[in-house]
Every structure is written in C-alpha cells, then in structure tokens.
Structure 1
Amino acid sequence: MIRALAADLKREAERTNERRLLVLAGDRDRGVNAAHDVIEAVDAADESVSIVSTGEGFRFDRVGPRGSGDVLGSTREVVVLDCHDRFVPNALGRTVGAVDGGGLLVLLTPSLDEWPDRRDRFDESLAVPPFTLGDVTGRFRRRLVDTLRTHPGVAIASLAAEGVSEHGASGTGSETNGEPSTATIERDGHVEPISRNARPTTTPSRPATATFPPAVYSACLTADQVRAVHALESLATPGSAVVLESDRGRGKSSAAGLAAAALAADGADVLVTAPTYRNAAEVFARARECLGTVDAVDAGDEDHDHAASDDADAASDDAASDDSHLLHVPGSGRVRFAPPAVATDLPDDPDAVIVDEAAALPVRLLDGFLAAPAVAFCTTVHGYEGAGRGFSVRFRDHLLNGEFSVRDVRLDEPIRYAPDDPVESWAARTLALDARPAVPEAVAGTTVDDVRYRTLDPDELLADETLLGEAFGLLVAAHYRTEPNDLARLLDAPNLSARALVTGDRVVAVALLAREGGLPAETRSAMYEGQRVRGNMVPDLLTSQLRDEHAAEPRGIRTVRIATHHALRGRGLGSRLLAEVHDEFADVVEYFSVGFGATPRLLRFWRRAGYRTVHLSTTRNDASGEHSAVMLRPEEPAGVDLLDRHAAAFRDRERDALSDAHRDVDADVVRGALAACPASVSTDLTAAAWRSVVAASFGPGTYEVAPGGFRDLALATMVGDTGPNDEEGVSVDRATPDLAPQAERLLVRKVLQGRPWESVAEELGYVSTTACKRALGDAFRPIVDCYGTDAALAERDRFAEQ
C-alpha cells in the first residue's frame, strides 16, 4: 500500500516537476520500515537520499536535526525527517529546501491525533525554569497537523498496530526486516490537474550587450538566471556591487558560479565565501562545469558526505570550510574559497568577491567586503534562516551609502521545481516563512494617538492567520535572526508572551517578552557554580559570569524583541509600546531588562526608556557582529539594588577593559554605554595628579605624565547618569562638563582605550598628532572647571594670568 502510494506520488511529482510530501504517522519503528519501503519503491539511489534523525534503524547515513544544515546546500531525491524523538522546526525548514523537483519529503511522525499532546526533547528546551515540561503547550504542532491535513500535495499514511489497520481490518503492506507494515491512507496527496507546471522548453537568450561567452548563458535555465549573470558581468569593473536576492531554489548560487567561471577564464582572481564551504558547493559545482571547457584544474579536496550520530548532532562542517577549495584556470585566473573570517581580510587581493548566503553572516564581516574592488552578495529572501536578516535590516544601508555602483536582481522563477510547487507553499505557510507586516497602505498615517495596546494571546494567534502573520512578520522584518524555532517558542513556550500596538485590526508594533528570575535557592546556587539555566539570559549572565549569587532572585521581564512597522518608524510607537509594557507589569516584577547588539542609536533608545547599562560583552556577537549590551530598568527595591551593584561593577570593569578587551569598540558605542551607567566615579585625585592635568590643559604639561588621573576624570565625565532624561536622552540634573561629541570621542579613543596618537588623529580627522594633542588639552579644560579642587582651580587661574 505504502509502496504503491509512494510510487504514484513520485510519478506525479516528476510529471509536474513539483515535490510531494508523504507523512508516515504512527509507531516509529514501523515508520522507519515504511520509509525504507518508500525509498525502494521510488528506486532512489543511496547518494540521492538523506536521513535526518536522532535515532537508529536506518540503512542510510544520517545527520541529527542540528546537523540538518549539511543537506541544505544539496539536492536530494528523497529526504526523510524523523520527528519522533525531537522535532525541530528549523530542521524541517532546512530539509524542505534540499528536496529537488520530482522528489519526496517524508516525515515520520507520531499519530497525528496524538502528536500535539506529546512532548519531546525540543519541548524540553522550551521548559525554562521555573517552568516545567507540563507547562509547554502543543499549539505549533497542532497548527502543523492542520496544515498537513488540509494542504495540497500532502499524503498521509497512518501506521496502525501490527497486523491491524486503524479501521480494525487486517491489511498487510510490504515487509521489511520481517515486520508487516499495515497502513491506512488518510490522504493520497494527489494534486489536480497534474502536469500544469511543466517547464517551458525554450532556452533563455543571451543579452545583446553581454560580454560573457555564449556558453555561460546557454547554461542558464531561466530568464531570471540570465538577468543575474548579466548583472554579474559588472564585477569585472572595479567599484561595482551586485545584490542577488531570491527565495531558495531559484538558481542564484548557480548564476554566481557561472559568473565566477567567466571572470576567472578572463584572468580574474575570484574569492568566494559563505558560512561554510557546503553553502558554496553549488557555486563551485557550476563554476567547475563551466570551466571544464578551458581545462581548469580542481586543486581542492572533494566535498564529502558524512554520517553523524546523535552524539555528533551539534557538529558542523567547519573543518570542511577551512579546506582549500580552488579552481585554477590556465593563466592567472582562479576561483577560490575562504571562510568568512578569513575572506573579510581579502587575502591576496582578489579582483572580485562573491558572498553566498550573505544573510547568514554577521554585519561586521559583511562590512569588510566593502573594501573589495567589486563584490556580489547573494542572499535568500525567505529561507529557514527566516531572519529579518542582518543583511536586510542593517547592512543594506551600509552598501547603498558606500561608493559602489549597486545593481539589484531578484530571481523569482524556481530552478529545481515548478513555480506553484505545493510543498514550497506548505512550508512557507507552516513555518511562517512568508510572514509579512501589514502592507504600508493599511497603516499609513497612523500616529501614536491612534493605536491600542493589546495582548497577543497564543490561542488567538493560532486561530487568526492574519494576526499571526503580521505579528511574526514584524519580528522577522526587524531582527537579524528570526527562525522557525522562534515561531514554536511564540506559540508554546510558557516563559514568553507578546504584546502589540494595533490600529483597527492591523499590527503596527510588537514586543516579545520573557519572564526571568524568581528562581529558587538551589537553582541559583547551581547557576553560581556554573550550571547553565535556559531562558534566563540576564540572571544567568549576572550570576555565573559576573559572580552575583543573588542576581536570579528578583523577578524580571526581558524584552527579547521589539519591532515597529517600517512605514511608521520615528513616530514614537516603540516608546509607547514599552511604556505600556512597563505599566502592565510594574506591579508583578522588580526590574525590566534587555540585551542587544549595541549601536549608538539603540543605546539612546533604551536609555530614553529608562534602562541603564550593566554589561558590555568582551567579544562580538556571532550573529550581529556587535558587542552585546545588557541594560536594566528597576521597578522595586530589589531591582534598584540589583542595578546599583552591577552598574558599579560595570564602571569598575570598564576602567580596565577599555584599554584591553574593549580597546576596539566603536567610540560612540562606548559613549552611549557609559552615559547610561548610573554609577558615579570619584574625582578625588592626588594633588600631583591634579597639577599634571591642569598643566596639560592650560599650560605646558603633557598627558603622558599622569595618564591615570586623566583616565579617572574621563571616566567620571562619561559615566554617572542618575537623573531624568530630556528628550535627547541626556540627564538634566547632573553637573557634568559640557563636551562636544568629538571631544568625547577623543577621550574614549586616547584616554580610555589608550590608542596611539597617530591612529586617533587619523580616525578623528585631526591634521596632525600635534593638533590632536592640543584638542585633548582643550577637552580637559571644562573637566577641570567642573571637577577641579580649589588648588587645581587656583593653578588653572595662575596659567590663565600668564
């Protein structure tokens, strides 16, 4: 029965160049046996099959859910995803993308009626303290089951007990390993009319103005690919940048490979990078094919598949990405791969750089490629990465504001399967990959007075696809890392809640909130001894890393994400939403918190909202490429105490860290972080130190004589925000020196970070180091006026009279 169903689905998928989804629901062992039957029935070669599972029993190599990225850059005839032990939404997104047109995606699931109420190892990750597994809901899987039972192109076979069908009748399908497989076909998955999406047989024509050889264009399968390759011809001209955007499976990597080959054949050195070599494998495959006509030599190691056990589930292919993958062309041309951290330094001065899967790279690394002579960024618009994508959110403006001439190409026509493939639309619906904010026209003109604050109850989100799509779409569009796993957390995690501002029934701003802290003594003690506790980011940081055993005792609310509709930014909606959140939860928590990739703009926003800095990470965040800041807003005495002791600790750490681990942090980030730290700094310098500072500011002295005194005064000038803020985020009741931003940057770079005079002068635009030194003396004059002792002021006046 299952063999016949699989064969029928496969034939239909091949005729239509679409994919089909087959669900084998029921006992896992029977599901494994049935999956083998499916693979045999469709006569799939071993190398065209991928298994994603944490369990045993398969006769094929397998990877665990965390290793499912290994199959993402490949194309498979059959992919089997085992959903029994740990169903990870991200793994589903990755495996869907690996199935080729004419292929099958096979899901092994528990009984669909029972699955939403079952809890697995992924659910355990949602049961963050103080919640338990019993607090986790099954809304995401309930929604998933509904889509499986209603979406076109999905077949469902329910595997009954041995020898008995679900309707009580005996029925035997095939036998595998001697075990009878009995099934009831709940849905046959057929889509009518079949063959409606047969690919056109006409070959796209080469543009009249093309410079690449005709063979390059004859390898293109769609008009979109032709346009992409034609745009990539500009990489032969310095100062050119190309952005290729597409949904997965549209052939952007193939287009990049064809262009790389053509450039290399013309003598160019093309550097290719991607999160791992596997992500760029298609670029090299197409470049290798194209260069075969010019006798290219493949000097790289052959890519290889590998099995991964459950113990190796978290392993990636970083080792493979570090290998040398190189295509030589007779003469000087070549195509070579380097991992992003190496490629961003542009080793050996390439003529052009191609960045594949750019959306998955940190903004900090992407910025490095702006120094290349010419560069192409290939990025997935809607993929399992989900990610409001750092590329779209933060990096795109960097590129457009730079010196490149930028060409944009979007590829819409699928290469590997037909345009109306039902599995693609099923995955987009199920994982909210196509979630979008409300169209701008629907919210145009909305002001802060027009909106209403509301709770986004998970049951309401589950029942209202429009509400869910607009809310989740805002989170995706506004953040650089939003994944299908986050959709499951939104619907099922007991520690999370969502709030929104709406106009009419349109969502215009949304906040995702996490309940943290309030943990029992034994848990706090374990955290202090180094045990990681999920879902309590701020208490965990303050306890385990910053050594505060009592930090997890107060109850807090952390803003995980906050997003405003892009058409309404700058109208105060984010501030209004936060104010409503503060009002709602002020009586039930002792503090509010937030952690984010620190930028000057975000530091100002959170400071205006009453949050104060307690931490700046010593390393850059892998996703954002920025140092992460943690800020608190106290509500009750316990929160005030928590802020006071950690603000003071932050002040003390930064005095040393700014000339060590934070020596390269952006000066404006340092300014913003210190300005929001409510801890005063002593200006009780020795008489000798004061004389040195005054002499360097008003007389013939130099900074180098007493740098410690300068550092204390600089820190006191930058730190100590204890009063209310004006609308610019500046404290209005603190007696501080009145310094211009440029003078503060000079204090950060030279005095606090201890950078060389030459680099400081060059970065800040001084004509010479002498001018830079003079500016530093001028910057300290108002500092002396503000903090100086009577003796120091007398010394100042003495110099003024000379």
Structure 2
Amino acid sequence: MELSELTDLRSLVVALAKSGQRRLVLVEGEPERCRTRAVRLVQTLAETDGLWVGETVDAERAGLACTSARKHRAYLGQELSVLVWDGWKGTPPNAFAALSGALRAGGLLIWLMPPRARWGGFADPDYARTGLDQADHHPFAARLAAVLSGDAWVLQFGEDSTCSKDALAELSGSKSPTAFRVQTTPEQQQLIERLVRTGLGRRRRPLVVTADRGRGKSAALGIAAARLLQSGRERVLVTAPSADNVATLLRHAADELGAHLAQQSATGLTTTTGQEVCYSPPAELLDQKLPAEVVMVDEAAGIPAQWLREMLLGWPRVIFATTVHGYEGTGRGFALRFRQVLDRETPHWQQLNLSQPIRWASGDPLEQLISRLFLLSADAPENMPAADAQVQIEHWSPECAPETELTEAFGLLVNAHYRTTPADLRQWLDDPRAMSWRATLNGRTVGVLWATREGGLSPELAEDVTAGKRRVRGHLLAQSLANHGGFADAARLRTLRVVRIAVSESQRRRGLGRQLVQAARIACQAEGIDTLGTSFGGEVGLLRFWQGCGLQVVRMGLRQEASTGEFPLQLLAGISAEGEQLQQALSQRFARHWLRLMPVHWSTLEPELLLAMARSLPGRKALDHQDCQDLHRFGHGFRGYQLTLPVLQDVSACPSVYEQLSLQADAALWCRAVLQGWSWARVQHAGLCLGQRDGEQRLRAMVRALIQQNPEL
C-alpha cells in the first residue's frame, strides 16, 4: 500500500468522525501479509485505544491491547477507535458482531481474512468448537463474502497490497453539514424521564425498554438511577448477566451524582447520605432477596425467563431493558415470550423503544452491514390472515435459498425462540448433517423445522461414549442419552434431532407444527433413521406439543440451562424396530429412577410441568397388600404422614394416578410435599396450606379420592 493511500485513510477517519460513521476495512491475503498490513494501518492511524483480537505478539507490534474471541465480553462496555480482528485465528459470529458495537463514530473494524473466493472452503479455526470442522464447504462464509462484495462502503485491501484510490477519495471526500457529536437525544431524554417516573410511581407497573446497540439505553438507566437517589430512593439494585454489562450504567450514574458521590467501586455507588446503586448477579439477587425500592435489569434477554419472572414478582418496581437485535441472544424472542408473563402477572406494564443511535449517526454503514451479514434484523412475515389456500410442506435447504426466503425463515426462529444468535445461523447453513422443512402459504414462509442427523457411531466408539471415555461433537442428543441414559444403542443407532421449530404467530394452532414434525418422521422412515428426538428447556406448553407429536420423555437434565433457567428435557420417538426398543428402554429406566432424583435435583420444578411429564411415563408395578393397607390407614385413619411417605411416593408411579392427581385442586401440594420433599414450612410459605396439620389433612383427602377411583388400591 502506498504512502498516499495511508494519507487518504487518515483523512477518511477524520471525515468519518465528523459524519458520525464507521467502516469495515477488509484486508485479504495470506496470514502474515494480512497482519503486517494491519499493523502498518494502525501505526499510521496512531490509534492507541483500540483492540486486537488474535495473538499478543501482533497486538504488541500494533501497540494495541489484545484479547481472544472467547473473552470479548470484557470489552462490551468500552468504546474503541479501532478493532482489528484476525480472522485467520477464527471468527465466532456472536463475538464478532458484538464487538463491532464497541466502535465509536470514526472507528474502523479491520478484518483479516483469506481472499473472498476462498471463504467457502476456508477452515475457520472456530469450526472445531461446534463440529463444523467436518464440513468440506461452508455456505455461511460464502454468503458473507457475497454480502461484502455487494457493499460499496467496505474498504478493501487485496493481496496486491493496494486499495482503490477512487474508493478512498469518495469516502474521505464525503462531507456532513454539521459535525457529529455524542449527545443526549430527545428520545433518550424521554426515556430517562419515564424511568424516573416508573421508579417513583406505583407498584406493580413494570417498564420494558428495548433498543439496538448504541442507542444509549444503559446510559439512560444510569442517569435515571442517580436521579432516583436524588429524589429520595434509598437503594436501586441493578442486575445483568455479568458485571461487565453494567459498567456503562454505573459510570453515567456516577457522573450524574457528581459531588453527591461518596464511594465508587466496580459494582456500586454510595452517596454522601448513604444511598446506593448496587450491582448484584441475578442468582445472588434472587437468593438473598436484597431490599430495594427499584430493580433495574439490563440485558434482560441474557437472563433465564424463570428468573425474570421471579424478579418481576419479588420487588415493587422493576425495569427491564434489553437489546432488540442482540448478538448473544435476541431481545425479540425475549419480548414475545416474556410478554405473556407480563400480561398475566402485571397487566399494567408499559413498553418503550429507543431507535435513534447515540454513539454513531443514523444510517451508519457498519451497523447496516453487520445487520445484513448476520441477519440481525430478520423478521417473520407480517401477520398473515388465515387463508383458504392450502399450506404447503416442503423439504428445504436454507444454504441454497434466496436471501428473502432465508431472512423470513430465520426471522421465524428469532421470534419463536428465547435466544437465537448469529452462531445459530452459521450452524444451520454449514452443518452437513442438517435437514430442514418449511411451510409456505401463498408463497410466504409461515413455518420452519431445522433438524440434524446424529448417532450412527461404531459399536466401539458408542461404548466409549457411554462410559464417558470419549466425547464426539455434533451429537448432542445421541451422546447425552448414551452417556447419561446408560444405553450405548443411543449413540450407535441413527437419530434425527429437531434443533428448532417455529410457526408464525398468525398461523399457530392450525396444526402446522405437527405437519412439519410428521414430514421429519416420514424422512426418517425413508432414510432408515431409527429415532426422532428433541432436547429443549422444560416448559409445559412445549412438552405438550411434543407429546402430541408422539414423542416420549426419556431424560431430564440434572442442571438448569444457563439460557432459560429450565431443566433440559429430552424426548424420543422410535421409528425403526430397534429405535422403538431403545425409546421404551429409556422411558422405563427414567420412570424407575426419577422419583428418587426429584427431591435432590428437581425440587423447584413447576408442578404443572412435573405432572405433564409424569403422565407420559410408563407405570410401575402396583402396590403390594401391605402398602395398600398403609395407604388406607393414612387416608381413612391416623397413620403418620412420615411413615406413609414411601407408599405415597410409590402410589404416585402407579398407572393412571398422575392423570387423576393432576385433576385435583391440591395437585401442587402433592408435588411439593410428597414428590419434591419440601418442608411443611416451605409448603406453607408457598401458600399451598395453612401449616402441617392442614397439609396432611388435604393429602389424606386426596388419598381417599385415589382409593375411590382405583379399586385395586
């Protein structure tokens, strides 16, 4: 690259800062040539408040701080003038998209990559983490290259070390009538006022704030938190997925407090009169139930839904804020699912959206490019009225689909699932074992199912996986059922796992989901696949859907998922004869073990989910004569509860009993006390009884009803 070009590049950065824009600089070529070129670029620009994602030795040559992609979260609260991303070391989509939002106006994102013609076959080092290293072709990367080639704002340095002077001149010559500067927008000021009113207002009227990156959401929360203290509130608690997420909030709160600030740390502020703004991790907040008049939840889409509900109900005034088109997980999935909780628990909740950026100008080319690259703005088709036209179900290949089709289909996944990320898009397009179907109405996508083929391991490898000696990427369900379920056949047989399924809101409850699953089942039969299965965070509506599709519960995870706060449920349907035998064996074994695991691992499981899950499990053998006598003596006499507890647990597993229990008014009491091992004090605190005596009387009445309905007892 010539000296004159570097001079033009410096002029470009000045012009970008004045106009409030940012740019992607694509440096193509072999690894060392790319790195040397990037070092020279950074040195010429004389930028020091930047970041190099890659190797430390390269960052030191450029005079920048260094990090790895997996540690990107630590920099999300900062503002950078330049970001160098060494794509030869790997480009995880979530991290790349997220860190692009840390660049301020005038910033450059310098991406080091092979020539775009090679992207489709480039072995990105990040693929090994997800099992994609087994693929020969990568449609996701090829698509990125095509998007970049069609973007006139991308500054491209090719293998010949030159950049188009015309492009530099055009970009650096662009003028803005007024110089851009970061300042509070009218929209942000209105948000601050609304936040303060919510924090000082009536209880049980939560506010939900949604915004894209760079809109000043966290800054507004911080300013409002400070003003709430100045207005008399004693404590404002702030929570988020990590302490790094609230650095901007606390910084703006400190600036707003000014001379009234007495103490400041990375996790809190204290005023001269002892008032506080404190950060608390979500789990700690819920466990300790710290008192506060106001709780602010930032990046709410990154917190499990069940925890958000507990926060909503646990404090008088709660404010939820989240990113709409997120990189770690989209806020629209959060908004759609959490809206149901808000409508049910706090019908007077309010919502506010920020659309105008603050850290850069509206229409910023880099923001638009990142959105196109990773489909961050993908949305499902607008509500379509139920039509007389027949819905078509077809096998579909997203990696070959036109951009409009892919955007519609991915938008369905974004809206239907709690977290859908750019990494999901890459996995969908690049997984060579993936199979997909879509439902169309009048040519528009109204439903989509994404599945992947698993299992089929050799008998020797399957045994090693079952014994825990080996792990094989890309076989989530097959490996889990083999290792945790204890059956090597789960890894040896072939399984089609449904990864995601989504139907547009306007077409739900018309059977489209079941039709998509049926299409997958037919494909299993045609290809000789032994089982059809799925794994998801346990939620009663989803469970009933899958049970309605003919799948049976075969396992529940012992730990809650970090993304949803729910216990993972795994369901299976046998397709071949061997597959049916495997499904039955797994279900029967789970039915034998789960009552023993319940009080230890699943004591917080919602009774409705517990009962829905139990209804599909195989019934165990009936009680013997002595157990039946004890049951009668408890129900009709005065036999002690603790002495009868083992029999009560055993009768729970008898055929048809769960169905009868679920219909009784005190079904939740039975679940909490008998199955989940709650103390009477805890049961009473949950409002299920007035105390031990009342609770035991209710259980005796339930037993009498069971005896009446089941003469064999």
Q: Tell me if TM exceeds 0.5.
A: yes
Structure 2 residue 187 is the aligned partner of structure 1 residue 224:
yes
**d(CA) in 2 for partners of 1:347 and 1:700?**
39
1:666 deviates by 0.9
**d(CA) in 1 for partners of 2:187 and 2:173?**
26
**d(CA) in 2 for partners of 1:459 and 1:618?**
35
Q: Which amino acid in the other structure matches residue 224 of structure 1?
A: E
Contact 2:27/2:112 (<8 A) preserved: yes
Contact 1:382/1:434 (<8 A) preserved: yes
**Larger mean Cα displacement after TM superposition, 515-524 or 73-82:** 515-524
Q: Which amino acid in the other structure matches residue 281 of structure 1?
A: A
**d(CA) in 2 for partners of 1:546 and 1:579?**
26
Instruction: State how 1:204-283 maps to structure 2 within 5 Å.
Output: 221-234=184-197, 235-239=199-203, 240-268=205-233, 269-283=235-249
* Number of the residue aligned with 2:174: 194
**d(CA) in 1 for partners of 2:520 and 2:113?**
39
**Larger mean Cα displacement after TM superposition, 184-193 or 280-289:** 184-193
Q: Which amino acid in the other structure matches residue 71 of structure 2?
A: G
1:533 deviates by 1.4
Q: Taking structure 1 as reference, are residues 259 and 787 closer, same or farther at Cα in structure 2, changes over 3 Å only?
A: same
Q: Taking structure 1 as reference, are residues 197 and 418 closer, same or farther at Cα in structure 2, changes over 3 Å only?
A: farther
Q: Taking structure 1 as reference, are residues 754 and 341 closer, same or farther at Cα in structure 2, changes over 3 Å only?
A: closer
**d(CA) in 1 for partners of 2:399 and 2:698?**
61
Q: Which amino acid in the other structure matches residue 221 of structure 2?
A: A
* Number of the residue aligned with 1:641: 581
* Number of the residue aligned with 2:562: 622
* Number of the residue aligned with 1:287: 253
Structure 2 residue 484 is the aligned partner of structure 1 residue 541:
no
Q: Taking structure 1 as reference, are residues 94 and 100 closer, same or farther at Cα in structure 2, changes over 3 Å only?
A: same
Contact 1:227/1:409 (<8 A) preserved: no
Structure 2 residue 335 is the aligned partner of structure 1 residue 402:
no
Contact 1:518/1:554 (<8 A) preserved: yes
* Number of the residue aligned with 1:515: 453
Residue correspondences, number: 700
* Number of the residue aligned with 2:378: 435
**Which residue, out of 493, 497, 506, partners 1:554?**
493
* Number of the residue aligned with 1:317: none
* Number of the residue aligned with 1:415: 358
**d(CA) in 1 for partners of 2:500 and 2:166?**
39
1:770 deviates by 4.1
1:738 deviates by 7.5
* Number of the residue aligned with 1:473: 411
Cα offsets for 1:159-188 (capped at 9, x unmatched):
34xxxxxxxxxxxxxxxxxxxxx4354983
**Which residue, out of 426, 431, 437, partners 1:493?**
431
1:55 deviates by 6.8
Secondary structure in 1 matching 2:157? strand
**d(CA) in 2 for partners of 1:565 and 1:136?**
33
Q: Taking structure 1 as reference, are residues 184 and 768 closer, same or farther at Cα in structure 2, changes over 3 Å only?
A: closer
1:546 deviates by 2.8
Contact 1:148/1:154 (<8 A) preserved: yes
Secondary structure in 2 matching 1:84? helix
Structure 2 residue 385 is the aligned partner of structure 1 residue 444:
yes
**d(CA) in 2 for partners of 1:38 and 1:576?**
55
Contact 2:497/2:534 (<8 A) preserved: yes
1:42 deviates by 2.1
**d(CA) in 1 for partners of 2:172 and 2:8?**
16
* Number of the residue aligned with 1:170: none
Q: Which amino acid in the other structure matches residue 305 of structure 2?
A: V
Cα offsets for 1:288-315 (capped at 9, x unmatched):
11111x33123315xxxxxxxxxxxxxx
Q: Taking structure 1 as reference, are residues 83 and 707 closer, same or farther at Cα in structure 2, changes over 3 Å only?
A: same
Structure 2 residue 572 is the aligned partner of structure 1 residue 632:
yes
Q: Which amino acid in the other structure matches residue 121 of structure 1?
A: P
Structure 2 residue 93 is the aligned partner of structure 1 residue 89:
yes
Secondary structure in 1 matching 2:600? coil
Q: Which amino acid in the other structure matches residue 298 of structure 1?
A: Q
1:641 deviates by 1.4
1:114 deviates by 2.0
**d(CA) in 2 for partners of 1:43 and 1:710?**
74
With normalisation by structure 2, the TM-score equals: 0.93
* Number of the residue aligned with 1:62: 66
Contact 2:453/2:495 (<8 A) preserved: yes
Secondary structure in 2 matching 1:561? strand
* Number of the residue aligned with 1:331: 273
Unaligned 5+ residue runs, structure 1? 161-181, 202-218, 302-324, 721-735, 793-802
Of Structure 1 and Structure 2, the greater helix share is in: 2
Q: Taking structure 1 as reference, are residues 697 and 739 closer, same or farther at Cα in structure 2, changes over 3 Å only?
A: farther
* Number of the residue aligned with 1:746: 669
Cα offsets for 1:97-128 (capped at 9, x unmatched):
11111111111111222232221222334546
Unaligned 5+ residue runs, structure 2? none
Q: Taking structure 1 as reference, are residues 762 and 72 closer, same or farther at Cα in structure 2, changes over 3 Å only?
A: closer
**d(CA) in 2 for partners of 1:539 and 1:362?**
26
**Which residue, out of 498, 513, 528, partners 1:574?**
513
Q: Which amino acid in the other structure matches residue 295 of structure 1?
A: H
* Number of the residue aligned with 2:635: 697
**Which residue, out of 38, 54, 73, partners 1:35?**
38
Secondary structure in 2 matching 1:331? coil
1:327 deviates by 1.2
Secondary structure in 1 matching 2:559? strand
Identity %: 27
1:144 deviates by 1.1
Contact 2:619/2:655 (<8 A) preserved: no
Structure 2 residue 643 is the aligned partner of structure 1 residue 714:
no
What's the RMSD between the two structures over aligned residues?
2.4
Q: Which amino acid in the other structure matches residue 538 of structure 1?
A: L
* Number of the residue aligned with 2:137: 137
* Number of the residue aligned with 1:215: none
Contact 1:362/1:390 (<8 A) preserved: no
